[in-house]
A = this chain, B = another copy of it.
């Protein structure tokens, strides 16, 4: 709209985005959490999320337009096309996607398709050679230029000729629209610093940057400088569309999707990562993967958020409820059907509802769940065999792909009529059933517990002690299910297993008072030795531990997986663990990391064992005494005033949080800087 300033600083304007937008720069501007599904892959489209995006951009609650088109809450689509764009006025990044709903009857769900789809799983395209700075008042004032952080200047900018007095050069960087900006880069002042002076203010005013907004510089493969902006989350001017009412937009989204779904014809959507509260086009693989997460009340999870300085941070939270976000118009939708609470009080801007695929469950015994366990085809009514019976038992415990491709609402929730204990028992049985080497039929406890027992803690206790005894995993850790004292239990663990010692080591790093003079280097060596012995312990068993590591150009990740395969023809139980690094991992670090991962996985296994014990004891003693020392927990809660079930949930959450923290601290201390 505006002609480029006369001083010629922004030059070479590409008329109307002829040249496609630089992907690296786009992703840098979009933020570290944004990843786009790849073209050609299968995705799940959520109309509710799409509407949220429009509502957010209009800064307007969407009116109560009924979903009269009977559009399903999600559409499985083929993603034909993804193109990157940037608003010419505001530099806002957005992506245009062409989706084509997959015909219901053609939807074939088999492992191969899923695996193939997994190839197109998101990659974090955050460029490595970049820096991002939030602008200060001085940076944006007309009084001066831009103060470049020293590290950033040295890493990204062409090196200055320090023989000059003062050292200075012309810096040319291209923005999203392929427009070149030329700044004077000078190293001066007392003490010396890197500054961008001439033309900087033109850039600021042209882009209408304010203090709090961010600029980012990238050095791409060709060593060319790229320049992007990322505006603060301050209130935006509400996109006052003067041509289309929000109602029409709302209904337009529904109708476009409904029309496409009815005809299996392509439709086009815009995804604006900075405007949208959440992604609404999810890679099918990611979605499917998330389906295996068994969510339940009180479950602990992590979720990634973007920090001020272009970084990411995981926040911990607890699931406080599972229910339809909009029970009237979008019944049984998986969109934001999980109500959550956040650990930190500064969680004002974090959502109170999330979707399954947004969260990373923190491993607990309840989430061990065999993939591909359920038969591919829906059970025929009246089928009398054991498998059908087992299926009923595990309904709710095992995510499955039904006719409508997905869990049908209530199935993924807790059984409303069951107590927590009953439910837990079921979980244990399901695990038992799938991980023991004998695929024998274990009767459903849920069905057999009389109501009278559920409502009487003392009777429950005795019942519990009968049924919750766990099978010992081979190559693993023998736990005493009947131990009543947590101290004793922990001591027993420490004595019986080397792994518990490792766990205690990590705890000592942060909370416990023992081992104050902890030596990291020495500890790592110790760990390596122990991992080695662990491996030896596990390898000869009937279970297998597998490890994978991948390192692509853009993201560096190492993935570990434990597959517990009782028999060769039965689907394996698996645990996963991932490491992501922004910087490439040095070759010599690889083996170390691999072993760390292996160990972490084993720890997870171990924690699950411990937690099973804890939960069992919990219900015996009703949190008079916590199995794990956690003073905070004691101080915060007054248990006497709460009903038994709530105490149980709370105690569980706290235990899980505590253990998860141990894991995380461990990881943090190990992650390469």
A interface list, Cβ under 8 A from B: 1-2, 53-54, 57, 68-69, 85, 87-89, 92, 94, 96, 208, 236-245, 247-256, 259, 267-270, 272, 275
Q: Which residues on the B side are within 8 Å of A53 (C-beta)? A: 243
Query: Pick the contact of A255 from B88, B96, B240, B254 — CB < 8 Å?
Result: B254
Q: Given A89-B240, A237-B89, check contact A245 B259 (CB 8 Å).
A: no
Q: How far is the CA of A253 from the CA of B255 in the complex (A)?
A: 10
Q: Which residues on the B side are within 8 Å of A259 (C-beta)? A: 68, 251
**Sampled A-B contacts (24; CB under 8 Å):** A2-B208, A54-B243, A54-B244, A69-B255, A85-B240, A85-B242, A89-B240, A92-B242, A94-B243, A243-B275, A244-B249, A244-B252, A244-B270, A245-B269, A247-B256, A248-B256, A248-B267, A249-B252, A250-B252, A251-B252, A251-B256, A252-B256, A254-B255, A255-B255
Residue of B nearest to A55 (CB): B243
Asked if A1 contacts B237 (CB within 8 A), the reply is yes
Residue of B nearest to A263 (CB): B68
Q: Which residues on the B side are within 8 Å of A88 (C-beta)? A: 237-238, 240
Asked if A242 contacts B94 (CB within 8 A), the reply is yes
Q: Which residues on the B side are within 8 Å of A242 (C-beta)? A: 57, 85, 87, 92, 94, 270, 272, 275
- Point out which of A68, A249, A251 has the most chain B C-beta atoms below 10 A from its C-beta: A251
Q: How far is the CA of A54 from the CA of B270 in the complex (A)?
A: 17
Q: How far is the CA of A68 from the CA of B87 in the complex (A)?
A: 31
Q: Which residues on the B side are within 8 Å of A268 (C-beta)? A: 245, 247-248
A88 to chain B, nearest CB (A): 6
A389 to chain B, nearest CB (A): 47
A662 to chain B, nearest CB (A): 42
The 4 closest A-B pairs by CB, nearest first: A252-B252, A255-B255, A94-B242, A248-B252
Q: Given A208-B2, A248-B249, A249-B248, check contact A270 B255 (CB 8 Å).
A: no
Residue of B nearest to A275 (CB): B243
Q: Which residues on the B side are within 8 Å of A248 (C-beta)? A: 249, 252-253, 256, 267-269
Q: How far is the CA of A268 from the CA of B65 in the complex (A)?
A: 12
Q: How far is the CA of A54 from the CA of B269 in the complex (A)?
A: 17
Q: Which residues on the B side are within 8 Å of A241 (C-beta)? A: 239, 241, 270
A532 to chain B, nearest CB (A): 54
- Point out which of A92, A243, A254 has the most chain B C-beta atoms below 10 A from its C-beta: A243
Q: How far is the CA of A238 from the CA of B17 in the complex (A)?
A: 13
Q: Which residues on the B side are within 8 Å of A254 (C-beta)? A: 255
Q: How far is the CA of A269 from the CA of B248 in the complex (A)?
A: 8
Q: Which residues on the B side are within 8 Å of A245 (C-beta)? A: 96, 256, 268-270
Asked if A243 contacts B57 (CB within 8 A), the reply is yes
Q: How far is the CA of A208 from the CA of B2 in the complex (A)?
A: 9
- Point out which of A2, A87, A236, A242 has the most chain B C-beta atoms below 10 A from its C-beta: A242
A98 to chain B, nearest CB (A): 9
Q: How far is the CA of A249 from the CA of B250 in the complex (A)?
A: 9
Q: Which residues on the B side are within 8 Å of A87 (C-beta)? A: 240, 242
**Given A87-B242, A255-B255, 13 additional A-B pairs, CB 8 A:** A1-B208, A2-B208, A53-B243, A88-B237, A89-B237, A239-B241, A239-B243, A244-B249, A244-B270, A245-B270, A251-B255, A252-B255, A254-B255
- Point out which of A53, A241, A248, A272 has the most chain B C-beta atoms below 10 A from its C-beta: A248
Residue of B nearest to A269 (CB): B245
Asked if A253 contacts B247 (CB within 8 A), the reply is no
Residue of B nearest to A243 (CB): B57
Residue of B nearest to A65 (CB): B259
Q: How far is the CA of A187 from the CA of B270 in the complex (A)?
A: 54
Q: How far is the CA of A240 from the CA of B239 in the complex (A)?
A: 11
Asked if B252 contacts A267 (CB within 8 A), the reply is no
A345 to chain B, nearest CB (A): 31
Residue of B nearest to A2 (CB): B208
- Point out which of A57, A237, A244, A272 has the most chain B C-beta atoms below 10 A from its C-beta: A244
A626 to chain B, nearest CB (A): 48
Q: Which residues on the B side are within 8 Å of A275 (C-beta)? A: 242-243
Q: Which residues on the B side are within 8 Å of A92 (C-beta)? A: 242
Q: How far is the CA of A247 from the CA of B244 in the complex (A)?
A: 13
A606 to chain B, nearest CB (A): 47
